[in-house]
């Protein structure tokens, strides 16, 4: 008898209300909600890291552009110094192509309007690629709490059924379904909060990138509209600033007296 008592004392009590036990009591509905929320969470983090990689890549391209592009003698020379897949090179290449295509137009169109529209279209394509996946983050942030709430409602419903069958609201009768309901709520919030934070953070970074692209596009347009006479201020290696050299212009003929 003493040995049995000591053995029972040495054996730790089993938790009948753990996570797996609560999910098993929830059955197919609980596991289905868990699977949906898991897919949402994994896809959200995948979009977060992939978008961060793309954004960091364009930011580095912007740094390379500011240090090399405007020191070139022409747009073509400057574009050759940029990475082939650079977003800034895409804008320059589209601007050069639009300038060449303007001479082929049979319907007269103002050159400035044509160039502005072409550069803006190129800029919009880049911003559209950066925004890919963000609507999914917004969808996850908006819907995952309600998916978790669905599991919560089912858990409470099952708890009420157990109470009705037992005839009294004992802890052992409702602990499983109520625990399942709380787990579903926590899972929904755990998926929604990171998705909303990631969406807002990535949107803010996209906005800053869009501002940099818009400023560069405006500089390119000003350069082309002035035949190379207008260039932005660029940083020097010594930490100061200087105006990028303008394109060389032919010297004015000497005036005969």
C-alpha span between 212 and 217 (Å, rounded): 9
Mean pLDDT of 102-116: 79
Model confidence over 150-180: pLDDT tens digits? 888 887 777 777 777 766 656 665 666 667 7
238 has a pLDDT exceeding 70? no
Whole-number percent of the chain with pLDDT over 70: 74
146 has a pLDDT exceeding 80? yes
Start-to-end CA span in the chain (Å) = 132
* Confidence (pLDDT) at 244: 52
Q: At what angle do helices 19-68 and 87-102 cross, to 10 degrees?
A: 50
Question: Residue 170 has what DSSP assignment?
Answer: -
| Contacts of residue 97, Cβ cutoff 8 Å, sequence gap at least 6 | 118
* Confidence (pLDDT) at 24: 66
Buried b (16+ CB within 10 A) or exposed e, 47-73: bbeebeebbeebeebbebbbeebbbbe
Mean pLDDT of 108-112: 77
* Confidence (pLDDT) at 194: 95
What is the average pLDDT value for the chain, to the nearest integer? 79
Across 13-27, 33-47, 217-231, least confident range: 13-27
């Amino acid at each position: 008898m003493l040995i049995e008592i000591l053995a029972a004392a040495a054996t730790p009590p089993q938790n009948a209300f753990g996570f797996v036990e609560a999910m098993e009591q929830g059955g197919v509905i609980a596991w289905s909600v868990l699977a949906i929320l898991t897919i949402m969470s994994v896809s959200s983090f995948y979009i977060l890291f992939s978008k961060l990689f793309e954004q960091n890549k364009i930011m580095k391209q912007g740094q390379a552009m500011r240090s090399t592009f405007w020191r070139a003698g022409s747009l073509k020379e400057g574009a050759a110094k940029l990475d082939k897949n650079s977003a800034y090179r895409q804008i320059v290449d589209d601007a050069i192509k639009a300038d060449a295509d303007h001479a082929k137009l049979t319907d007269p169109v103002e050159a400035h309007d044509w160039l502005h529209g072409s550069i803006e279209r190129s800029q919009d394509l880049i911003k559209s690629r950066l925004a890919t996946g963000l609507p999914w983050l917004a969808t996850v942030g908006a819907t995952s709490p309600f998916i978790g709430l669905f599991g919560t409602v089912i858990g409470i419903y099952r708890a009420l059924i157990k109470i009705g069958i037992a005839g009294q609201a004992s802890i052992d009768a409702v602990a499983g379904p109520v625990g399942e309901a709380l787990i579903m709520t926590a899972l929904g919030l755990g998926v929604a909060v990171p998705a909303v934070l990631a969406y807002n953070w990535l949107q803010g970074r996209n906005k800053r990138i869009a501002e940099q692209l818009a400023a560069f596009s405006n500089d390119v347009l000003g350069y082309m509209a002035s035949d190379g006479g207008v260039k932005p201020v660029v940083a020097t290696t010594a930490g100061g600033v200087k105006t990028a050299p303008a394109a060389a212009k032919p010297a004015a003929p000497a005036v005969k007296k």
